[in-house]
Amino acid sequence: MSMSADEVCLGCMAKRTEEDTCPVCGWIHGTGNESHMHLQPGTMLNDKYLIGKALGQGGFGVTYLGWDINLKLKLAVKEYMPQDLASRALGDSQVSVYTMGLSDQYEYGLEKFLLEAQTLAQFEGHPNIVSVRDFFRANGTAYIVMSYIEGITLKEYVQSNDNRLPVDKTIGIVMPVLDALKEVHQVGILHRDISPDNVFITSKGQVILIDFGAARQAIGEKGRSLSIVLKPGYTPEEQYRSKGIQGPWTDIYAVGAMIYRVLCAQMPPESLDRLEEDTLAPPSHLGVEITPAQESAILKAMAVRASDRFQSVEEFQQALLSDRPVSYEPEKPVKTSGASAPMPPPTGEVFSGKAKASPVKPIYLAVAGAVAVLLIVVGFVMSRDGDDGGTAVANDSETTVETGEALADNLDPDLVEEDQTPDAIPDQLSEGSFEYQNGTYTGEHHNDLPEGFGVWEGPDGEVYEGEWHNGLPHGQGVLNGADGDVYDGEWAYGNREGYGVYVSANNVRYAGEWINNRRNGRGTEVWPNGAEYTGEYKDDMRHGQGIYTWANGDSYNGEWRDGFQHGHGVLTYANGQTREGQWVNNEFQE
């Protein structure tokens, strides 16, 4: 005879006693859901899965404690719930898309979510891959039923061991992760979100890789400027670009970064920052006892350019276990005056074959610099209890702002390599129309360079209209991108500088201060679902004091550092409950 919701504790699925509080886990019977985005505890799915408390929520899904009423088995049930696209009304199980215009992206991500479940199900029984037991559609969304794992994450394990592990123990944990990746890569699946949060160590010492990110990536590919939740430090540069080629080398970078974090007790520099100047310190320089062979393997795995990394998991495993250092010559970063945006490797879709090398091209106009790769972090997603499991998290995600990329690529680098000391505007300007940098310029000019006011139409349909000086946007101007995104504001020598308003193609709006093509100073970002952030930025990251308000009315008011909730802050739920105190890298310090 199966148990009903009245017979089990929905906080741990132990048999319920007559007491109001569960003696096993402390759950108070009758407790409702923490958010209207969650299913109500006690909901029944597919006529056999009893839903308990929410274990965690990320930008793309909610994970619940579950109970198979027929097999009497504790499970984990993951629900597809992309916060940028859909929600559910209070007390309702049905999920609804915000607008009809987002339905294609929602359905595309849902299909990928189910396809991933179907593919991973073939690895049922693999000792290092989370077991998928069932998957189905219901409530306008989809669910994946997985084995429930007792244990802790690698992140928690490291924290309990003075925040770092020795080399041999670290490699012993990482090898099963690589074994898992080797299997899934053979069927064309990438994880795309490897970090200590997603490596689980069971109570019996078994290492399991969890939380694959197919739906997360799929929505990014389909919507382009929607959320792709990325973890700074673990994410290679190609994941920040909508056209970046991803492959086994993408997951290899993340594993290398994870090893680095565990060994060195500090995060590696962001891959985007390393493109211009690589400041990655070898572990041995940070006091880590490590062999030259092990260190060279880790550094090669973390090479900035995909073509410089190991191209397969087997190569990486062999190098980690070898006593001979690997050798490679990474392509040196190129620094230019003005802003620069590296463009490696070549454009394309998810992996096929080997990553190719590509030269670094200086980009210095419109969305120049890091803005062309990681501007507007438009898909900013605030997550509860981690990305599908953890504590309150604010995750940055990418919007690849393609406004002006072609314009930037087509301009002459010598324009920005010259001395940028302001010159006097000539007294007499000519007017006319002529070919300029692979496009057409119409307006005032001097010595065959735009000067004064004019309009440039690019080869892909992008248009800049505004003031120019020495052939570069300078003053007030509007750039309309080929994909429909717009920047209207101040420019200085081809860079966004001063106050400006950016509106993405999917109607995410940032209004605020810019320095050197990046958001620096105060600004406000507003999302179509009603979410909003107002506060300080530093180099495109929330840094300083700021307030983020979720679409459901929850809000965080406090300090930020490098894009994370860090320092003193108050998390206020829509129901009036608060959590105030210190935060470190998105985690509340109990």
Residue 461 to residue 440: CA distance in whole angstroms: 11
Strands (E), 437-590: 439-446, 449-457, 463-469, 472-480, 486-492, 495-503, 509-515, 518-526, 532-538, 541-549, 555-561, 564-572, 578-584, 587-588
Residue type for position 518: R
Q: Are 520 and 537 a contacting pair, CB within 8 Å?
A: yes
Residues in CB range of 376: below 8 A, 6 or more apart: 399, 401, 502, 504, 508, 510, 519, 525, 540
List the beta bridge partners of residue 79. Answer: 62, 143
Our CA dihedral for 117, 121, 127, 129, rounded to 10 degrees, sits at -10
Q: What is the number of other CB atoms lying within 10 angstroms of the CB of residue 40?
A: 15
Residue 318 to residue 179: CA distance in whole angstroms: 12
User: 3-state DSSP call for residue 352?
Assistant: coil
Annotated binding site: 78
Quickly count helices (H) and strands (E) in the chain: 11, 28
State whether the Cα torsion 449-487-240-285 is positive or negative. positive
Residue 460 to residue 366: CA distance in whole angstroms: 14
Our CA dihedral for 319, 129, 304, 382, rounded to 10 degrees, sits at -150
Annotated binding site for ATP: 78
